[in-house]
Amino acid sequence: MQRKVIIDCDPGQDDALMLFLAFASPEELNILGVCAVAGNVPLEKTQRNMCILSDIVGNEKVPMFAGRDKPLTNVGLTAEHVHGRDGIDGIDIFSPRTKLEPKDAVDFIVDTLLSAADDEITIVATGPLTNIASAILREPTILPKIHEIVVMGGAMKEGGNITPSAEFNIFVDPHAAKIVFECGRPIVAFGLDVTHQVFTSPNVLERIAKLDNRVAKASHGMLAFFGRYDAQKYRAQGAPLHDPCTIAYLLQPELFELKSCNVRVETDSELTMGHTAVDFWGVTGLRANVEWAHSVHRDGFFDLLIERLSRY
Ligand code: BDR
Ligand code: CA
């Protein structure tokens, strides 16, 4: 089955790998548009990076849109300490041939959903959820059109990566995350519990290095850069491939184990702002609103990634 998807992201090296996986998979995914949001780096850079990545995959038909440059309520926060000054450090930055559409990303999301059938569109979100929440706030009648929202964000067992209790995407815009997680449509969430099971390794980088194409070379360069910070932080052999989990799930859901859980987002506490309270054991009795990913078949994940990179 080919799904119609809108991708919303903040590239970011792991967002880049997510896009590479998606653009290599036209049999499964009909990408209607890609949107950028402020996150890992400011919007001017995430939108430029998105267009650079579009050039690298040779995209000529999927339109690109720029969205919100700051969170709904909180002040913004970026992560150059993880992703580098440009966000996709590890490759040379160039002026992309791909141009942004004049339309704003939130308008694109609203208009696309309004003209879709019920339950028709899957949204993949791998940055702060500002664009998606803004679309829902602007036009709540889009909700029935959403088949599911596949999110990289949150953490339960792994605590947090930007504060002791919050994951970056949720921390940057917890108010947006709350709106999305409580919107009533099916949500599948890939938090740190699962993305910390897919760290790259020297072996993975060697396998990518053997692929002789432009996208694989860019992947190798970015992952080599991205791995440095995380290897030190987590005492791991490389970097966690957070964002590609979303697309890997759409391509091969059997790679992941999910559990239906109630998930609420902390928006009040200064100490735990952006924490995702995942009721994994059903102690609250509250309705499950999220399919929470908690396990991934690591080898299968990297086999899929490398096979798709070899297609370019
Ligand atoms: C998430 O935050 C960003 O740094 C990554 O791109 C990923 O989406 C991980 O916490
Ligand atoms: Ca991201």
Residue 107: CB atoms within 10 Å: 17
**pLDDT tens across 153-163, in order?**
999 999 999 99
Give the rounded percent of residues in the chain with a pLDDT score beyond 90.
93
Q: Where are the domains of the chain?
A: 3-309
Q: How far is CA 288 from CA 118, 186, 249, 285, in A?
A: 22, 10, 20, 9
Q: Is the pLDDT reported for residue 234 higher than 90?
A: no
Residues with active-site annotation: 242
Verify whether ligand 1 is closer than 6 Å to residue 34 (CB atom).
no
Q: With contact defined as beta carbons under 8 Å apart, do 150 and 250 qualify?
A: yes
Average pLDDT over residues 137-166: 97
Round to whole Å and give the CA distance between 28 and 251: 7
Index of the ligand 1 atom closest to the CA of residue 11: 6
Say which ligand is closest to the CA of 233.
Answer: 1
Give the rounded percent of residues in the chain with a pLDDT score beyond 70.
100
Collapsed DSSP state (helix, strand, coil) of residue 6? strand
Index of the ligand 1 atom closest to the CA of residue 9: 8
Verify whether ligand 1 is closer than 6 Å to residue 38 (CB atom).
no
Collapsed DSSP state (helix, strand, coil) of residue 148? strand
Distance (Å) from CA 168 to ligand 1 centroid:
6
Verify whether ligand 1 is closer than 6 Å to residue 152 (CB atom).
yes
Round to whole Å and give the CA distance between 126 and 161: 15
Give the pLDDT of residue 75.
86
Q: Is the pLDDT reported for residue 231 higher than 80?
A: no
Verify whether ligand 1 is closer than 6 Å to residue 8 (CB atom).
no
Q: Is the pLDDT reported for residue 263 higher than 80?
A: yes
Residue 268: CB atoms within 10 Å: 7
* 271: Cβ contacts below 8 Å, ≥ 6 apart: 165
Give the pLDDT of residue 233.
80
Distance (Å) from CA 153 to ligand 2 centroid:
9
Verify whether ligand 1 is closer than 6 Å to residue 161 (CB atom).
yes
User: Whose CA is closest to atom 4 on ligand 1?
Assistant: 40
Average pLDDT over residues 300-311: 98
At how many degrees (to 10) do helices 174-181 and 130-138 cross?
60
Residue 51 structure tokens: 């267009």
Give the pLDDT of residue 187.
98
| Upper half-sphere CA count for residue 40 (Cβ side, 13 Å) | 30
Index of the ligand 1 atom closest to the CA of residue 82: 4
CATH number of 3-309: 3.90.245.10
Index of the ligand 1 atom closest to the CA of residue 168: 10
Round to whole Å and give the CA distance between 116 and 308: 29
**pLDDT tens across 41-83, in order?**
999 999 999 999 999 999 999 999 999 999 999 888 999 988 8
Verify whether ligand 1 is closer than 6 Å to residue 79 (CB atom).
yes
pTM, two decimals, is: 0.97
Give the pLDDT of residue 171.
98
Average pLDDT over residues 192-217: 97
Q: Is residue 260 within a helix (H) or strand (E), and if so which, with residue range? A: strand 256-265
